[in-house]
Amino acid sequence: MKPEEVERIVISGGGMSKKKKYFDSGQKKQLLEHARDVITGFNKGVVMDDDPNPHDWGEYGVTLFAGYSARFTEDYLKARREFTGLAAKMLKAKSAHEKTIRTLCQKAGQEYVKLTAAIDQPIPNALNDAAKALVDTVLAEAGREYVHIEPNFLVRHEVSDVVALGRVRSMRTELAVTNTPLSKTSRVMLTVGAYPKQSFHEGGTTSLCMPSSVWVIDVPATKENVAEEAKWLIDVAVSLMRLSARKWQGHFPKMGDLEAHPTYPTIHTQPHVTMEGDTLFTGGGKLPGWYETNAEVAAELGTPEVQSKAAVLFDPTDKSLAYRVAHGLGWMTRGRQVSDRSERLLSFFTALEALLTSNDKNDPVTQTISRHVAVIYTQDVKTRVAVYNQIKGLYSLRSTVVHSGRREVLWQDVINLQVYVETIFWVVLNRCDLSMSQDRFMQSLADASHGLQWEFAAPEKIEKSGVSEKDGEGE
């Protein structure tokens, strides 16, 4: 195992169901044309036996393979650039890794040269077969999925439970052996110890020290993007976990608190010296908050209601409300992870924008978000006006940070915004069908913003002589 791989364990074959990826036929046809150009351009650069200067690297470089050498031609580099750009667009961010795609182009060219260079007679369909193989290999990245294990410095398990939320699981380190594909191999052992210490044993076994808890994530992504995508899925899960349980104890991160990073160790002491005249301040340090899952919390997170929400959130359709909510949850977590007030403000507003921006580009962003936050937050018209004005004022502060680079943000501003953001997401998670379309959700907010009750608001209980309206009768 390479040193850079010690902190992360990636095993092919996840536990979630895989969805077959379908690509636009027109784009796939165009990609195949680019693939032919890639291989043809590469083949033009092959250095022949009668080359007057066989050791010349050329203007763009050269590659040596299997006794052959090929200079990179301008045609090859242009075709590779066009192929890579279209392939990345088709694969999208999780499955696209441009450097890997470029490497696959080069390998495809090399394989074609090895197949055809030593044969006098042309091979029927060799170019088309090679181009198709390149396209199939690259697009197959969209179907890759890995089980990814990382240290967990954010969740501490009081009971021997596995907290599972969609594609993300948190568990005690000793449970990872029996609850992951590690149970099928002896190549890697996990032990609780001084992370990131590692030991190599005879027989090819590597022992990795981890904290008391680990994350286990089913990551649909190309291998080079697994760590980045795993971190995002963890962030989504953490906010869902935070909003789905009420029995948190201990060092639960409260409003405005810094939250421990989910995969990086916390520095407990921060030595420094601060001086004002003859007065000195030294030392310092504060533990960031973490989550302790006792039996009650584990039971809350394991309910069918929470599990069904998690299933939808981690595999949403593109135009669904769940797709927007999942993105917002991830940005909420990132806001709690940073200590800088301005960065927090931006992350929390990004969460709101992920949920509440309209697909209609003509809608004014500030007014739309402010109105919709007010609608979700309260059904009282007067209170809505106050909420609208406060969110609009905070959004103006956000614009000052983004467009002017000014950092005049108070902690109270950030805390107020966090209260609104977490309340909004809690309401949506508990009152809305996450599988509905985003357009349907936005229309409900637009209808209610004219002073009407929001369609998905909780039923109000109006007390009449001790009997609520919900009971359907009164005195």
In a shared domain, residues 292 and 325: no
pLDDT at 404: 87
From 15-19, 319-323, 325-329, the region with the lowest mean pLDDT: 15-19
Residue 151 pLDDT more than 90?
yes
Range of the domain at 84: 25-143
Mean pLDDT value of segment 322-340: 97
Share of the chain above pLDDT 70, in %: 92
Q: Strand 198-201 to strand 205-210: parallel, antiparallel, or no bridges (unpaired)?
A: antiparallel
Strands 273-276 and 279-282, how do they pair?
A: antiparallel
Q: Are residues 389 and 444 in the same domain?
A: yes
Is 95 within the bounds of a domain? yes
- Would you say 231 and 222 are in contact if contact means Cβ atoms under 8 Å apart? no
Residue 118 or 385, more confident: 385
Quick one: DSSP state of residue 461? P
Classify residue 85: in a domain, yes or no. Answer: yes
Look at residue 28 and tell me whether its pLDDT is greater than 90: yes
Domain co-membership, 421 together with 322:
yes
φ, ψ of residue 320 to 5 degrees: the values are -90, 160
Residue 466: pLDDT band (50, 70, 90) is very low
Domain assignment present for 195: yes
**464 falls within a domain:** no
Distance, CA of 270 to CA of 285 (rounded, Å): 5
Residue 5 in any domain: the answer is no
- 290-317, pLDDT tens digit by residue? 999 999 999 999 999 999 999 999 999 9
- The DSSP output letter for 435 is T
Residues 32 and 110 in one domain: yes
Band (pLDDT 50/70/90 cuts) for residue 22 is confident
CA-wise closest residue to 165 among 323, 259, 298, 291: 298
Q: Are residues 293 and 349 in the same domain?
A: no
- Give the global pTM: 0.87
Q: What tens digit of pLDDT does each residue of 278-295 get?
A: 998 887 777 889 999 999
* Same domain for 164 and 124: no
Q: How many CB atoms lie within 10 A of CB 448?
A: 21
Residues 242 and 208 occupy one common structural domain: yes
Contact 376, 321 (CB under 8 A): no
Residue 334 contacts residue 315 (beta carbons within 8 Å): no
Mean pLDDT along residues 52-56: 81
pLDDT at 10: 58
- 133 in the same domain as 258: no
Residue 11 pLDDT: 58
Distance CA 19, CA 59 (A): 44
Last residue of a domain, which of 115, 143, 171? 143
Residue 463 covered by a domain: no
Mean of pLDDT values over 101-108: 97
> What is d(CA 192, CA 282) in angstroms, rounded to the nearest whole number?
33
Give pLDDT, residue 9.
Answer: 56
Average pLDDT over residues 325-331: 98
b/e for 333-347, b at 16 or more Cβ within 10 A?
A: bbbbbeeebbbbbbb
pLDDT averaged over the chain? 89
- The pLDDT value recorded for residue 128 is 96
* Confidence (pLDDT) at 122: 79
Report if residue 456 sits inside a domain: no
Q: pLDDT digits over 399-448, tens only?
A: 999 898 888 899 999 999 999 999 999 999 999 999 999 999 999 999 99
Give the per-residue SS3 of 65-83: ECCEEEECCHHHHHHHHHH
Task: Provide the 3-class DSSP secondary structure of residue 192.
Answer: strand
> What is the spatial distance between Cα 142 and Cα 448, in angstroms, rounded to a whole number?
40
- Single residue among 271, 301, 331 that ends a domain in this structure: 301
15, pLDDT greater than 70: no
Q: What is the pLDDT of residue 19?
A: 58
Q: Residue 280: what are its φ and ψ, rounded to 5°?
A: -120, 140
Query: pLDDT, tens digit, for every residue of 245-276?
Result: 999 988 999 999 999 999 999 887 778 888 99
The structure tokens listed for 465 are 């002589």
Whole-angstrom distance, CA of residue 206 vs CA of residue 211? 16
Q: Which of 269, 301, 333 is the last residue of a domain?
A: 301
How would residue 460 be classed by pLDDT, with cut points 50, 70 and 90? Answer: low
Based on the fold, state whether residues 158 and 247 are members of the same structural domain.
yes
Region 343-359: what's the mean pLDDT? 94
Instruction: Count the domains in the chain.
Output: 3
d(CA 153, CA 231): 13
233 part of a folded domain: yes
249 and 392: one domain?
no
The span from the first CA to the last CA of the chain, in angstroms, equals 76
What confidence score (pLDDT) does residue 468 get? 36
pLDDT band at 148 (very low <50, low <70, confident <90, very high): very high
Per the CB < 8 A criterion, the answer to whether 427 and 379 are in contact is: no
Give the separation between CA 158 and CA 249, rounded to whole angstroms: 11
Q: Which residue has the tokens 């680079």?
A: 405
Close Cβ partners of 28 (under 8 Å, ≥ 6 residues apart): 90, 135, 139
Residues 294, 150 within the same domain: yes
Q: What is the reported pLDDT for 473?
A: 34
Contact 141, 222 (CB under 8 A): yes
Region of residue 252 (phi > 0: left; psi between -120 and 50: alpha; otherwise: beta) = beta
CB 150 within 8 A of CB 211: no
Predicted local distance difference test score (pLDDT) of residue 14: 46
Q: What mean pLDDT comes out for the span 14-35?
A: 80
**What contacts 350, CB < 8 A, 6 or more positions away?**
331, 335
Residues 328-347 have a mean pLDDT of 96
Same domain, 184 and 279: yes
Print the SS3 string covering 95-112: HCCHHHHHHHHHHHHHHH
The alpha-carbon radius of gyration of the chain (Å, integer) is: 28
- Identify the three-state secondary structure at position 94: helix
